[in-house]
């Protein structure tokens, strides 16, 4: 979190795709998109302000990130007292409202076709065919 005081949706998305085992990360991997390049592009949405923070620094979550995490806890499986939020549940919660600024950035990067597999879906599902051939990442 060097230079950022608040965790915003692009930060959360970057963390979510950082693992090739996450559903969206696996989808990117499957079609040959490099997560590190997408992460770099996403972080340009929220430029760092200031200097690196000490290791003890605890960032705060933006309201939108808080609402995503709350929604994930609501839709995650559990017995009422314990809720399990895994990568799939988190991604469902993230894209439940369309994905916001992250979805718009993905469209600008030529990855909009991938969104139809996650936005507004009751659960994540893998695509049956290849998304649009544009693989340009700036």
In a domain, 96, yes or no: yes
pLDDT digits (tens, 9 = 90+) for 34-83: 899 999 999 999 887 777 777 787 878 999 999 999 999 888 887 666 67
Instruction: Give domain status of residue 136, yes or no.
Output: no
Domain encompassing residue 107: 6-49+60-115
Domain count for the chain, please give it.
Answer: 1
79 domain-assigned: yes
- Separation between Cα atoms, residue 20 and residue 11, nearest integer Å: 16
130 lies in a domain? no
- Tens-digit pLDDT profile for residues 79-135: 666 677 888 889 989 999 888 999 999 999 888 888 887 775 544 333 444 444 433
Q: Which pLDDT score is estimated for 113? A: 85
133 is a domain residue: no
Q: Is residue 127 part of a domain?
A: no
Rg of the Cα trace of the chain?
Answer: 15
Asked whether residue 131 is assigned to any structural domain, the reply reads: no
Whether the model clears a pTM of 0.75, i.e. scores above it, the answer is: yes
pLDDT at 68: 94
Q: What is the 3-state secondary structure (H, E, C) of 51-85?
A: CCCCCCCCCEECHHHHHHHHHHHHHCCECCCCECC
In a domain, 37, yes or no: yes
């Amino acid at each position: 979190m060097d230079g950022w005081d608040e965790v915003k949706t692009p930060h959360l998305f970057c963390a979510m795709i950082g693992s090739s085992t996450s559903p969206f990360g696996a989808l990117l991997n499957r079609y040959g998109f490099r997560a590190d390049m997408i992460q770099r592009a996403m972080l340009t949405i929220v430029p760092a302000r200031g200097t690196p923070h000490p290791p003890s620094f605890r960032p705060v979550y933006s309201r939108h990130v808080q609402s995503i995490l709350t929604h994930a806890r609501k839709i995650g499986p559990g017995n009422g007292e314990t809720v399990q939020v895994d990568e799939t549940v988190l991604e469902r919660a993230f894209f439940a409202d369309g994905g916001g600024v992250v979805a718009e950035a993905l469209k600008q990067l030529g990855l909009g076709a991938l969104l139809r597999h996650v936005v507004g879906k009751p659960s994540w599902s893998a695509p049956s065919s290849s998304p649009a051939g544009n693989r340009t990442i700036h």
